[in-house]
Amino acid sequence: MGLYLTGSDGGNPLICIKFLRVPIIVIGADTSAGREILKGLQQPKREVRAFVTDENVGSTLKKTGFKVAIGDVSDESHVETASFGCFSAILIAEAAVDDRERSFAATADEVLTGWARAIVNSEVTRVIWISGAEHPQTSTREVVNVDPDDPNLVDEVVKLDDAQTI
């Protein structure tokens, strides 16, 4: 949602309130946590993008209304392009260590560091890491970590995305 100024009335700005869809992206949306988070975020007022490696999962998600980017999670250019224009990014660290193919990074740390650079380069404002371990620093304005074993993981992520600031 947002407020913006437009036009003028004899020197006085006209204020126009418009409800905007503020895009959010879930990197690792094809993990078990990612699928649950997508369900929690799916609402008509939200533009939710899902970044997945599995084309079959991507096809299914498209049919249920999500915008889908299919790519290699270790290719930070894929992550950066898919994240462009998003306000929030949910980064699920499990996708850096599970059994999927990663062609552009040899370690999970390299994948996560690439995500951090991609998110900064795509000018995302809010980063929600889903990680049980330390993650790379990002120079975004808002950064928080949620433990993937939190029994209220989905509710916590939705609450963080809905918050004015975190």
d(CA 86, CA 128): 13
**Measuring CA to CA, which residue among 98, 111, 143, 107 is closest to residue 124?**
143
Q: How many domains does the chain have?
A: 1
CATH of the domain at 31: 3.40.50.720
Q: pTM for this structure? A: 0.86
Q: Is residue 89 part of a domain?
A: yes
d(CA 72, CA 82): 11
Q: Is residue 57 part of a domain?
A: yes
Task: Find the domain containing 92 and state its range.
Answer: 21-162
Q: Is residue 1 part of a domain?
A: no
Q: Is residue 138 part of a domain?
A: yes
pLDDT in tens, the chain (166 residues): 343 444 545 555 554 444 446 899 999 999 999 999 999 999 888 899 999 999 999 999 999 999 999 999 999 999 999 999 999 999 999 999 999 999 999 999 999 999 999 999 999 999 999 999 989 988 889 999 999 999 999 999 999 999 989 8
